[in-house]
Amino acid sequence: MSETSRDALRERALKLDAADPLAPQRELFALDDGVYLDGNSLGALPLHVPDRVRDVLTRQWGELRIRSWDESGWWTAPERIGDRIAPLVGAAAGQIVVGDSTSVNIFKAVVAGSRLADRPDGGPSVHDGGPSVHDGGPSARDGGRDEILVDATTFPTDGYIAASAARLTGRRIVPVDPAEVRAALGPRTAVVLLNHVDYRSGRLHDLPGLTADVHAAGAIAVWDLCHSAGALPVALDEHQVDLAVGCTYKYLNGGPGSPAYLYVAQRHQAAFDSPLPGWNSHADPFGMTPDYTPADGSVRGRVGTPDIVSMLTLDAALDVWDGVSVAAVRAKSLALTDFFLECVEAYVPPGRVSSVTPAAHAERGSQVALRCADAEPVMRRLIERGVVGDLRRPDVLRFGFTPLYVGFADAERAARVLAEVLADVPGENPAA
Ligand SMILES: *Cc1c(COP(=O)(O)O)cnc(C)c1O
The pLDDT tens digits of the residues spanning 328-385 come to 999 999 999 999 999 999 999 999 999 999 999 999 999 999 999 999 999 999 999 9
Q: Architecture of domain 60-321 in CATH? A: 3-Layer(aba) Sandwich (3.40)
Q: Domain limits of the chain?
A: 3-30+324-424, 60-321
Q: How far is the CA of 424 from the centre of ligand 1 (A)?
A: 34
Q: How far is the CA of 157 from the centre of ligand 1 (A)?
A: 7
How much of the chain exceeds pLDDT 70, in percent?
93
Look at residue 121 in the predicted model and tell me its pLDDT: 62
Please say whether the dihedral angle defined by the alpha carbons of residues 402, 403, 408 and 410, taken in this order, is positive or negative: negative
Q: What residue owns the CA closest to ligand 1's atom 14? A: 226
Rounded to an integer, what distance in angstroms lies between the CA atom of residue 405 and that of residue 418? Answer: 20
Rounded to an integer, what distance in angstroms lies between the CA atom of residue 89 and that of residue 95? Answer: 11
Give the pocket of ligand 1 (CB within 6 Å). Answer: 101-103, 155, 157-158, 195, 199, 224, 226-227, 247, 260
Atom of ligand 1 nearest to the CA of 103: 7
Look at residue 431 in the predicted model and tell me its pLDDT: 44
What pTM, to 2 d.p., does this model score?
0.94
Q: What residue owns the CA closest to ligand 1's atom 15? A: 226
Q: How far is the CA of 81 from the centre of ligand 1 (A)?
A: 19
Q: What residue owns the CA closest to ligand 1's atom 13? A: 155
Look at residue 128 in the predicted model and tell me its pLDDT: 36
- Could you say which residues of the chain have pLDDT below 70? 1, 120-143, 428-432
Q: How far is the CA of 41 from the centre of ligand 1 (A)?
A: 9
Catalytic residue annotation: 155, 224, 249-250, 398
Q: What residue owns the CA closest to ligand 1's atom 11? A: 155
Atom of ligand 1 nearest to the CA of 199: 15
Q: Look up the CATH number of domain 3-30+324-424.
A: 3.90.1150.10
Q: How far is the CA of 331 from the centre of ligand 1 (A)?
A: 25
Atom of ligand 1 nearest to the CA of 154: 13
C-alpha dihedral, 162 to 168 to 169 to 175, nearest 10°: 30
Of residues 423, 425, 412, 422, the one with CA closest to residue 341: 412
The CB density around residue 177, as the number of other CB atoms within 10 Å, is 11
Q: How far is the CA of 375 from the centre of ligand 1 (A)?
A: 23
Look at residue 264 in the predicted model and tell me its pLDDT: 98
Q: What residue owns the CA closest to ligand 1's atom 10? A: 102
Residues 6+ apart with CB under 8 A from 137: 118, 119, 120, 144
Look at residue 4 in the predicted model and tell me its pLDDT: 83
Out of 105, 151, 199, 392, mutate this one to test ligand 1's pocket (max ligand atoms within 8 Å of CB): namely 199
Look at residue 143 in the predicted model and tell me its pLDDT: 62
C-alpha dihedral, 175 to 177 to 180 to 183, nearest 10°: 0
Instruction: Kindly report, residue by residue over 249-301, the tens digit of the pLDDT.
Output: 999 999 999 999 999 999 999 999 999 999 999 999 999 999 999 999 999 99
Out of 38, 40, 98, 103, mutate this one to test ligand 1's pocket (max ligand atoms within 8 Å of CB): namely 103
Look at residue 3 in the predicted model and tell me its pLDDT: 82
Out of 102, 160, 223, 366, mutate this one to test ligand 1's pocket (max ligand atoms within 8 Å of CB): namely 102
Q: How far is the CA of 166 from the centre of ligand 1 (A)?
A: 19
